[in-house]
Amino acid sequence: MNLLSQAVKRWCAETIAEWNRFWFTPSEPHTLGLLRILAGAMLLYTHLVWSKDLIAFLGPNSWIPREASMELHQGTYAWSHLWYFDSPVLLWAQHIVVLVVMLMFTVGLFTRVTSVLACLFTISYCHRLEGALFGLDQVNAMLSMYLMIGPCGAVYSVDRWLARRKSAKDLPRPAATTNGNISMRLIQVHMCIIYLFGGISKLRGDMWWDGTAVWYAISNLEYQSLDMTWLVRYPWFIALLSHITVFWETFYCFLVWPRITRPIALGLAFCVHGGIALFLGMITFGTAMIIGNMAFLPPSLVESAIGRLAGQTNRVSSVAIPADLQRRRNRRSA
């Protein structure tokens, strides 16, 4: 009995230690910085799209009236600042402010403030436009909510550039923080939940079991951006794609954590969402999901990749500028 109790206590202690390691081990902010740039650009693009017909979406005679939007959320904790006015002048004024905030968040200017505002504005627009939303809007809201928790402006940002200019000495390396790790873990866990429930829902459909689901997707003219109907000549390949997709989505939450299977899970994610973007016309949704998957990239890998890219850019510039100056000198001498 003593041996059993000791084993249980040891297991509980190890479980608690692993839980604390998973959530509270300080993490460097490089992956968060990359996600801020990519997710911020998607937020800016999404709200620019609303600008194409802002009054039709939000004005006094909008497709989804304010009263209907408020009624849909009655009895919940949802809130939107857009419920309280529909004047075209005020709508455009606040929308310009929103676009400026999204741009500042993307480039990392006053990130501690603009990250919170970007999240609040995103959710507020979603609550007002209930009924006109898609998966893209949900992913945008998820990423913006978790990015405001961590120091997403600590690197690759205007904030970092300004701090370097103001500092008399070289800035130290960005510190690893606990809230940065929590932010990344929340995105990772949320992505696993999305895929798990997506896979379970697919398992309820007969087309995923008989292998025809991919065919019905690529043959649907409403979503078709590239004609892939020639695949009808290869029914075995269509069935293989269908079964791989549902298997990957269902077991993503198990495959993405071990280092040995993580590249496979992320590679399949890139292929699936890249295919959705290219062949089914859902470019923004496919891109947003790929951005979410980047939360599993280690900060050291992101730092190394961006460092190499920056180094190549600097080398190209150092070669191109003298050549350009030489051409100008040649013209002057001629």
Is 116:164 a contact under the CB 8 Å cutoff? no
Is 157:107 a contact under the CB 8 Å cutoff? yes
Q: What is the mean pLDDT of residues 137-148?
A: 95
Give, for 301, the enclosing helix (H) or strand (E): helix 299-333
CA 52 distance to own-chain centroid: 23
pLDDT for 108 equals 95
Coil, helix or strand for 14?
Answer: helix
pLDDT for 122 equals 96
pLDDT for 250 equals 95
Answer yes or no: is pLDDT of 87 > 70.
Answer: yes
Is 134:285 a contact under the CB 8 Å cutoff? yes
Q: What is the DSSP letter of 177?
A: B
Residues in Cβ contact with 185 at an 8 Å cutoff, skipping those fewer than 6 apart? 22, 23
Q: Residue 79 class from Cβ within 10 Å (0-12 exposed, 13-18 middle, 19+ buried)? A: middle
- Phi, psi torsion values for 227, nearest 5 degrees: -75, 105
Q: What is the mean pLDDT of residues 76-98?
A: 93
The pLDDT tens digits of the residues spanning 44-83 come to 999 999 999 999 999 998 888 888 889 888 888 899 999 9
Farthest-apart Cα atoms in the chain, separation: 98
Answer yes or no: is pLDDT of 283 > 50.
Answer: yes
pLDDT for 286 equals 93
Token pair 């609550």 in the structure block, residue: 127
- Residue 302 — very low, low, confident or very high, per pLDDT cuts 50/70/90? very high
What mean pLDDT is reported for the chain? 89
pLDDT for 284 equals 92
C-alpha to C-alpha distances, 76 to 64, 131, 243, nearest whole angstrom: 19, 16, 39
- Residue 134 — very low, low, confident or very high, per pLDDT cuts 50/70/90? confident
- Extract the tokens encoding 265: 């899970």
Q: What is the mean pLDDT of residues 138-150?
A: 95
Token pair 């005020």 in the structure block, residue: 90
Answer yes or no: is pLDDT of 169 > 80.
Answer: no
- Residue 314 — very low, low, confident or very high, per pLDDT cuts 50/70/90? low
75: left (phi over 0), alpha (psi -120 to 50) or beta: left
The pLDDT tens digits of the residues spanning 192-243 come to 999 999 999 999 988 999 999 988 888 887 777 888 888 888 899 999 999 9
Residues in Cβ contact with 199 at an 8 Å cutoff, skipping those fewer than 6 apart? 246, 248, 249, 250, 251, 252
Answer yes or no: is pLDDT of 313 > 70.
Answer: no
Residues in Cβ contact with 253 at an 8 Å cutoff, skipping those fewer than 6 apart? 192, 193, 195, 196
Cα–Cα distance, 30 to 174 (Å, whole number): 9
Q: What is the mean pLDDT of residues 303-315?
A: 80
Alpha helices in 86-230 (DSSP H): 88-107, 111-128, 135-147, 158-166, 178-203, 206-210, 213-218
Contacts 24+ apart (CB under 8 A), 127-130: 127/69, 127/73, 127/78, 127/79, 127/80, 127/82, 127/83, 128/58, 128/64, 128/66, 128/69, 128/80, 128/82, 128/83, 129/57, 129/58, 129/64, 129/69, 130/64, 130/69, 130/72, 130/73
Cα–Cα distance, 269 to 273 (Å, whole number): 6
- Residue 316 — very low, low, confident or very high, per pLDDT cuts 50/70/90? low
The residue with greater pLDDT, 130 or 39, is: 39
Most confident of 91-105, 129-143, 207-221, 301-315: 91-105
The pLDDT tens digits of the residues spanning 229-273 come to 888 888 999 999 999 999 999 999 999 999 999 999 999 999 999
pLDDT for 131 equals 80
Answer yes or no: is pLDDT of 334 > 80.
Answer: no
Q: Residue 17 class from Cβ within 10 Å (0-12 exposed, 13-18 middle, 19+ buried)? A: exposed
**Lowest-pLDDT range, 108-117, 223-232, 270-279?**
223-232
- Extract the tokens encoding 122: 């995103």
Residues above pLDDT 90, as percent of the chain: 63
Cα–Cα distance, 59 to 62 (Å, whole number): 5
